[in-house]
Amino acid sequence: MRALQASTSYGGVGVSSVVTTPRLRPPRRRVILAQVEPSEKSVEMMRKFSEQYARKSGTFFCVDKGVTSVVIKGLADHKDTLGAPLCPCRHYDDKPAEVGQGFWNCPCVPMRER
């Protein structure tokens, strides 16, 4: 709020008044991002694949079940949206181009070194 002050005099007597006006702000833009969960079918498929891969490769899941869940859901989401389970731990400049190469490199080296 801003205060506007005005003063005047009537017959030598000063009169003062203060008026507050609301501060006008431009309307805010609100961005709402919808979060779409991967399909249950894809999550289950990626869970089974991950378990089988861990058995065959001698690797194991992270002790923190939340990390494992996020990785499996990320794989399933990429499977649903891109058609291939790209590693969710990596940054891709062009995900569709990576899918086109047909190379999937998960679990990544840093996860195997833990």
Residues contacting residue 9 through CB under 8 Å, at least 6 positions apart: 15
Catalytic residue among 62, 87, 89, 108: 89
106 is catalytic: no
* Distance separating alpha carbons of residues 14 and 8, to the nearest angstrom: 6
Residue 21 identity (one-letter amino acid)? T
Beta-bridge mates of residue 21: 2
3 state SS of 97: helix
Known catalytic residues are 89
